[in-house]
């Protein structure tokens, strides 16, 4: 969507291009200042009221999280469809359709949806990622019914004239220009994803290749809507000052009548095993060079199956989970300073294969090669020497704190419940995930640092800066994660 | 197809993975021994009888090339559909469907088609490439009508039970194992294509990703057949001891009654400009290392538009167009020997973007890096010093000779007419192409050698050999070009 509302969910991921999944932001969370080193907490504070989940007769999911602290509510409609479900030739259509969902229904004119939400005193937006598409409104709790009526109407009856599509497609293309074409690191990230993922649909950018946007037709968007916007492929999440049974009755009333249809078959499109290093360079006008290392690593497949994913999350947090964590301290500070900024992130879970990324911007006089070597040296050092108990306690404290902070926002709670549903995770997934993370030992972190960071599953993408032409169009865009499009 | 018939059209391209188009084989033609250096010929000998082209009322094309030297005829059915028309998730379906075309019609049982062709005294096969799919029978000329009846029947009415599909899919998967999974260079070439082409459908292998084959359903093949096997997307080419008007009457009788249907819209899927070198390594059990350099270069778009494509064809022939040509002489022979074998090839034209490739196998004690540098040095030398008139005359003589040799085979003539039709070229395209090539000057060759062989449009793929496990399944396959599947 084009609305200039706050980019609430993307804080912290601007450096990284391939993060997704419930813990994406954990790995990159930045506390305002170094924390003291408390003993690691052993568990999360328990939420006062548990969420509840229902399945409507047509297969649609309803999740309600009561939170009575303020007279506000959030409705989020989640559709388990994202760029991962596109086929090439129409890349970007999931996101284009997200825009078109604001353009009318059988009874609403283009733009009327947003005007009505505003009239309710609400704010709203939408988002599209590789894995899912979401729509939300935050409204005074007593206006929930009207928001549900509006949302169910467009889920069932989205429609618009071809002219409206043509205009909005130009908006999307401009979005691509601002966020990708004019952003060398975004372009580089797009190319890196394309090089890492050969058979997986994560190969393609969420916003779509420009050639596919140029050739997109109204019918492409309508067909995608018909195909994927079916009740059994969607969940309504309501969080806030609401009563679950009352919300359930409203959901039955507004969503329950939408006819059931089959969710289309999905092809697995498994990524073949990578068996050797890949390097891509990209030259573009830019102030600074940049290097991004993407390692193919295991991910969480099922919540309680043994996996190295937990230890990899911890590793990413030890490297870059707080101000003054290893990468920051050793690469951007002090006498050994080689980088202006660095980062680490791990996708952890998602509908497609996940990556562990290390990124860096060389300091003046340094090269991407130096930064690349320094980043890898930090992982190698952990593989060799392990991590300290204090370090581990610090990152664990951070998670528990960030989980607690989430409880403070109905929006964040709805987001978490929805993204867990997309991954097929249960209602208590976040708590169980934190339990798994809290159980990770220093030895496990050391082991994964030694196991997954060789050359053979690595793709290195390097931005080689060209001189910036002062006349060229630049600087009007803003850095944005490729992982999510509004 | 699985039939073990001669691989007539693939001679010479085994080293290269991305060649296509009418001149693919020219660039790699290998004469049995060095030729003397005659003056360059100025034109081709004129064919005695010109081909004729008709369009049936339903949009189907008919091309007839009379050649009365022997009482034989070839029928080739060309469908302008190949892996380029697939979308991901069902990669390989064009080739799977080609197999299924032998599995029955409304009136023929599985396998009956081939039995009937054999009963006519015919031989037959089929082929699938990125750009097209073709089927052919060579029969005694007086049996042409029966062949046309059979071919038109399966074009209009191909059908088979699901069981037959499941069995044949296993055949195709075994084909992939033999020709790709068990062939390190084929796997490397597959990865190189995937790295070079990010948005273009040339990204995907013709045979399909194994994951897509594993998940392919009978309905995928039927839908592809319904979508693309329409009269206006096909051409029947008949060459041999035939009368054009009589063939036309037969075509009207057998193909003319197939109902017209629209050819589906095709998305352009334009490949973005490459702006930096890409390198991929691939480790696999192999006897020898191998390196392949793929440069993005211009290609022929329209027959008589000015283009550097002509000079690039000449460059590839100067490098590798005859025994003792530059690459061979300087890299595999004499005191400067660094490679056991080398090659150059240029795609020239096709439905997607084309490449100029240099490949080599290091000699004992040499590395891929040495071979890579030596290959590029030969191009750089031409950019610096140009090519000699004698060298140019030699490659031009070769083309004229190979064009003349083609006339000796009705099969080769039909193949050429069909592949030109796929590219949208006119009946006299081959002659006009040779005229363009004969007009190329040494200065033009020198210029293109200097223009297109920098780093920014280059993708280097390197095979790093691992020890061969004597117990592993290997050696039962054979090297095959990725460009064409039977």
ipTM of the complex: 0.85
CB of B198 less than 8 A from some CB of A: yes
What is the rounded distance in angstroms from the CA atom of residue A397 to the CA atom of residue A420? 22
Nearest to B142 by CA among B53, B246, B63, B236: B246
CB of B302 less than 8 A from some CB of A: no
Q: Angle, to 10 degrees, between the axis of helix A429-438 and the axis of helix A410-422?
A: 90
Closest alpha carbon within chain A to B462: A276
What is the model's pLDDT at position B228? 98
CB of B181 less than 8 A from some CB of A: no
Structure tokens at A275: 């068996």
The label of the residue with tokens 């081709």 reads B44
What is the arithmetic mean of pLDDT over B94-105?
Answer: 98
Contact call for residues B354 and B348 (beta carbons, < 8 A): yes
A371-391 per-residue burial string, b: 16 or more CB within 10 A, e: under 16:
bbebbbebbeebbeebbeeeb
- pLDDT surpasses 60 at A458: yes
CA angle A444, A16, A396 (to 5 degrees): 35
B177 to chain A, closest Cα gap in Å: 14
B300-316 per-residue burial string, b: 16 or more CB within 10 A, e: under 16:
beebeeebbbbbbbbbb
CB of B88 less than 8 A from some CB of A: yes
In this complex, the residue of A91, A278, A464 whose CB is nearest that of residue B280 is: A278
In this complex, the residue of A212, A283, A456 whose CB is nearest that of residue B276 is: A283
Interface test with A, best of B196, B197, B217, B267 (most A CBs within 10 A): B267
CB of B390 less than 8 A from some CB of A: no
What is the rounded distance in angstroms from the CA atom of residue A486 to the CA atom of residue A351? 20
Contact call for residues B28 and B481 (beta carbons, < 8 A): no
pLDDT confidence bin for B42, thresholds 50/70/90: low
B95 to chain A, closest Cα gap in Å: 17
SS3 content of chain B, % helix, strand, coil (to 5): 40, 15, 45
Are A191 and B212 within 8 A, CB to CB? no
Has B151 been annotated as catalytic?
A: no
CB of B369 less than 8 A from some CB of A: no
**Rg of chain A on CA atoms, in Å:** 22
CB of B227 less than 8 A from some CB of A: no
- pLDDT per residue as tens digits for the range B219-248: 999 999 999 999 999 999 999 999 999 999
Contact call for residues A332 and A339 (beta carbons, < 8 A): yes
Burial class (CB in 10 A: 0-12, 13-18, 19+), A53: middle
What is the rounded distance in angstroms from the CA atom of residue A55 to the CA atom of residue A179? 38
The number of C-alpha atoms within 13 Å of B403 and in the hemisphere containing its C-beta is 25
CB of A191 less than 8 A from some CB of B: yes
Task: Count CB-CB contacts under 10 A for residue A271.
Answer: 19
- pLDDT surpasses 50 at A283: yes
Contact call for residues A389 and A396 (beta carbons, < 8 A): no
User: How far is Cα of residue A343 from the mean position of the Cα atoms in its chain?
Assistant: 16
Fold for the domain defined by B52-254: Cytochrome Bc1 Complex; Chain A, domain 1 (3.30.830)
Structure tokens at A345: 């992130």
What is the model's pLDDT at position A482? 46
According to DSSP, the β-strands at A61-66 and A234-240 are parallel
The label of the residue with tokens 């202006």 reads A340
pLDDT confidence bin for B24, thresholds 50/70/90: very low
What is the rounded distance in angstroms from the CA atom of residue B244 to the CA atom of residue B258? 21
What is the model's pLDDT at position B478? 39
A216 to chain B, closest Cα gap in Å: 8
pLDDT confidence bin for A36, thresholds 50/70/90: very low
CB of A203 less than 8 A from some CB of B: yes
Write the secondary structure of B396-417 as one string of H (helix), E (strand) and C (coil): HHHHHHHHHHHCCCHHHHHHHH
* Catalytic residue, candidates A86, A98, A190, A416: A98
- Cβ contacts below 8 Å, chain A against chain B, sum to 121
Name the strand (E) or helix (H) holding B465: strand B458-466
pLDDT confidence bin for B470, thresholds 50/70/90: confident
Residue B128: beta bridge partners?
B133, B485
pLDDT confidence bin for A17, thresholds 50/70/90: very low
- pLDDT per residue as tens digits for the range A62-82: 999 999 999 999 999 999 999
What is the rounded distance in angstroms from the CA atom of residue B13 to the CA atom of residue B24? 8
What is the arithmetic mean of pLDDT over A215-242?
Answer: 98
Contact call for residues B85 and B266 (beta carbons, < 8 A): yes
Residue B292: beta bridge partners?
B359, B461
| pLDDT above 70 coverage of chain A, percent | 87
Residue A461: beta bridge partners?
A280, A292
In this complex, the residue of A212, A267, A281 whose CB is nearest that of residue B276 is: A281
pLDDT confidence bin for A418, thresholds 50/70/90: very high
What is the rounded distance in angstroms from the CA atom of residue A483 to the CA atom of residue A330? 28
Contact call for residues B242 and A235 (beta carbons, < 8 A): no
Are A281 and B277 within 8 A, CB to CB? yes
Are B209 and A275 within 8 A, CB to CB? no
Name the strand (E) or helix (H) holding B251: helix B244-254
B343 to chain A, closest Cα gap in Å: 23
User: Which residues in chain B touch residue A198, judged by CB atoms under 8 angstroms apart?
Assistant: 191, 194-195, 203, 209
- pLDDT surpasses 60 at B36: no
Nearest to A49 by CA among A461, A413, A429: A413
Structure tokens at B451: 């223009």
- pLDDT per residue as tens digits for the range B299-310: 999 999 999 999
Average pLDDT value for chain A: 89
Structure tokens at A279: 């390097």
What is the model's pLDDT at position A404? 82
Contact call for residues B129 and B20 (beta carbons, < 8 A): yes
Contact call for residues B238 and B414 (beta carbons, < 8 A): yes
CATH 3.30.830.10 residue window(s) in chain A: 14-44+271-466, 52-254
- pLDDT surpasses 70 at A47: no
Structure tokens at B179: 């020709």
Interface test with B, best of A183, A275, A296 (most B CBs within 10 A): A275
Contact call for residues A109 and A164 (beta carbons, < 8 A): no
Contact call for residues A431 and A44 (beta carbons, < 8 A): yes
- pLDDT per residue as tens digits for the range B407-465: 888 999 999 999 999 999 999 999 999 999 999 999 999 999 999 999 999 999 999 99
- pLDDT surpasses 60 at B11: no
Q: What are phi and psi of B460, to 5 degrees?
A: -105, 130
Per DSSP, B10 falls in state G
As a dihedral over the C-alpha atoms of residue B183, residue B186, residue B187, residue B191, rounded to 10 degrees, the angle is 170
In angstroms, the Cα distances linking B395 to B4, B128, B332 are 33, 30, 20
What is the rounded distance in angstroms from the CA atom of residue A9 to the CA atom of residue A28? 12
User: Which residues in chain A touch residue B223, judged by CB atoms under 8 angstroms apart?
Assistant: none
A86 to chain B, closest Cα gap in Å: 9
As a dihedral over the C-alpha atoms of residue B426, residue B430, residue B436, residue B437, rounded to 10 degrees, the angle is 160
CATH of domain A14-44+271-466: 3.30.830.10
Tell which phi-psi region holds residue B178, choosing left (phi > 0), alpha (psi between -120 and 50) or beta: alpha
- pLDDT per residue as tens digits for the range A285-336: 999 999 999 999 999 999 999 999 999 999 999 999 988 899 999 999 988 8
What is the arithmetic mean of pLDDT over A350-374?
Answer: 97
In angstroms, the Cα distances linking B96 to A238, B216, B244 are 47, 9, 33
Task: Count CB-CB contacts under 10 A for residue B201.
Answer: 23
In angstroms, the Cα distances linking A53 to A63, A144, A304, A406, A432 are 4, 18, 21, 20, 17
Contact call for residues A211 and A181 (beta carbons, < 8 A): no
Task: Count CB-CB contacts under 10 A for residue B169.
Answer: 20
- pLDDT per residue as tens digits for the range A143-200: 999 999 999 999 999 999 999 999 999 999 999 999 999 999 999 999 999 999 999 9
Structure tokens at A81: 């469809």
User: Which residues in chain B touch residue A276, judged by CB atoms under 8 angstroms apart?
Assistant: 280-283, 462, 464
Burial class (CB in 10 A: 0-12, 13-18, 19+), A37: middle
- pLDDT per residue as tens digits for the range A377-395: 999 999 999 999 999 999 9
What is the model's pLDDT at position A473? 53
Closest alpha carbon within chain A to B184: A275
User: Which residues in chain B touch residue A195, judged by CB atoms under 8 angstroms apart?
Assistant: 195, 198, 278, 280
CB of B283 less than 8 A from some CB of A: yes
Structure tokens at B20: 């296509």
CB of B282 less than 8 A from some CB of A: yes
In angstroms, the Cα distances linking B94 to A272, A475, B83, B128, B158 are 21, 45, 6, 7, 14
Contact call for residues B3 and B136 (beta carbons, < 8 A): no
Name the strand (E) or helix (H) holding A396: helix A389-407
Sorted by sequence, the CB contacts under 8 Å of residue A123 that are 6+ apart come out as A5, A117, A137, A138
Task: Count CB-CB contacts under 10 A for residue A334.
Answer: 8
pLDDT confidence bin for A486, thresholds 50/70/90: low
Structure tokens at A263: 């969710």
- pLDDT per residue as tens digits for the range B129-138: 999 999 999 9
What is the model's pLDDT at position B4? 33
The label of the residue with tokens 């990125």 reads B130
Are B91 and A198 within 8 A, CB to CB? no
Residue B126: beta bridge partners?
B135
Least confident of A48-57, B143-152, B290-299: A48-57
| pLDDT above 70 coverage of chain B, percent | 87
pLDDT confidence bin for A4, thresholds 50/70/90: very low
What is the rounded distance in angstroms from the CA atom of residue B476 to the CA atom of residue A385? 47
Nearest to B328 by CA among B107, B64, B34: B34
- pLDDT surpasses 70 at A10: no
| DSSP output for B273-308 | PP-S-EEEEEEEE-SS-EEEEEEE-----STTS--T
B388 to chain A, closest Cα gap in Å: 36
What is the rounded distance in angstroms from the CA atom of residue A279 to the CA atom of residue A277? 7
Are A209 and B284 within 8 A, CB to CB? no
CB of B275 less than 8 A from some CB of A: yes
What is the model's pLDDT at position B472? 65
In this complex, the residue of A209, A275, A283 whose CB is nearest that of residue B272 is: A209
């Amino acid at each position: 969507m084009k609305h200039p509302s706050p980019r609430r969910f993307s804080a912290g991921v601007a450096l990284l291009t391939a993060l997704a999944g419930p813990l994406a932001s954990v790995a990159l969370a930045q506390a305002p200042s170094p924390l003291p080193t408390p003993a690691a907490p052993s568990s999360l504070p328990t939420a006062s009221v548990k969420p509840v989940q229902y399945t409507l007769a047509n297969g649609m999911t309803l999740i309600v999280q009561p939170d009575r602290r303020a007279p506000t509510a959030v409705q989020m409609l989640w559709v388990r469809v994202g760029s991962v479900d596109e086929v090439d030739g129409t890349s970007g259509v999931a996101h284009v359709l997200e825009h078109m969902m604001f353009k009318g229904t059988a009874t609403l004119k283009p733009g009327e949806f947003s005007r009505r939400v505003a009239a309710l005193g609400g704010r709203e937006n939408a988002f599209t990622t590789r894995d899912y598409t979401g729509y939300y409104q935050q409204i005074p709790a007593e206006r929930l019914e009207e928001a549900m009526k509006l949302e169910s109407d467009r889920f069932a009856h989205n429609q618009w004239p071809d002219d409206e599509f043509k205009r909005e497609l130009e908006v999307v293309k401009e979005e691509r220009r601002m966020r990708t074409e004019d952003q060398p690191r975004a372009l580089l990230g797009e190319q890196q994803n394309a090089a890492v993922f050969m058979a997986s649909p994560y190969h393609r950018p969420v916003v779509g290749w420009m050639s596919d946007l140029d050739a997109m037709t109204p019918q492409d968007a309508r067909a995608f809507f018909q195909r994927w916007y079916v009740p059994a492929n969607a969940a309504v999440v309501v969080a806030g000052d609401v009563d679950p049974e009352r919300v359930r009755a409203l959901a039955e009333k507004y969503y329950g009548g939408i006819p059931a249809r089959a969710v289309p078959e999905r092809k697995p499109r498994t990524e073949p095993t990578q068996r050797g290093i890949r390097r891509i360079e990209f030259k573009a006008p830019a102030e600074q060079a940049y290097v991004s290392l993407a390692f193919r690593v295991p991910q969480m497949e099922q919540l309680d199956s043994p996996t190295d994913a937990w230890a990899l999350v911890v590793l990413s947090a030890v490297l870059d989970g707080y101000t003054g964590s290893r990468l920051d301290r050793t690469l951007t500070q002090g006498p050994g300073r080689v980088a202006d900024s660095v980062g680490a992130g791990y996708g952890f879970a998602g509908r497609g294969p996940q990556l562990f990324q290390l990124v860096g911007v060389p300091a003046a006089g340094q090269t991407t090669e130096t930064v690349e070597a320094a980043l890898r040296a930090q992982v190698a050092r952990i593989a060799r020497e392990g991590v300290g108990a204090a370090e581990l306690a610090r990152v664990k404290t951070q998670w528990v704190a960030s989980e607690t902070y989430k409880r403070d926002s109905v929006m964040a709670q709805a987001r978490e419940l929805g993204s867990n549903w997309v991954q097929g995770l249960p209602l208590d997934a976040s708590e169980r995930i934190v339990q798994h993370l809290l159980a990770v030992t220093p030895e496990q972190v050391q082991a994964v640092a030694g196991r997954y960071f060789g050359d053979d599953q690595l793709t290195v993408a390097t931005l080689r800066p060209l001189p910036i032409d002062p006349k060229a169009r630049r600087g009007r865009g803003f850095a944005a994660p490729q992982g999510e499009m509004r």
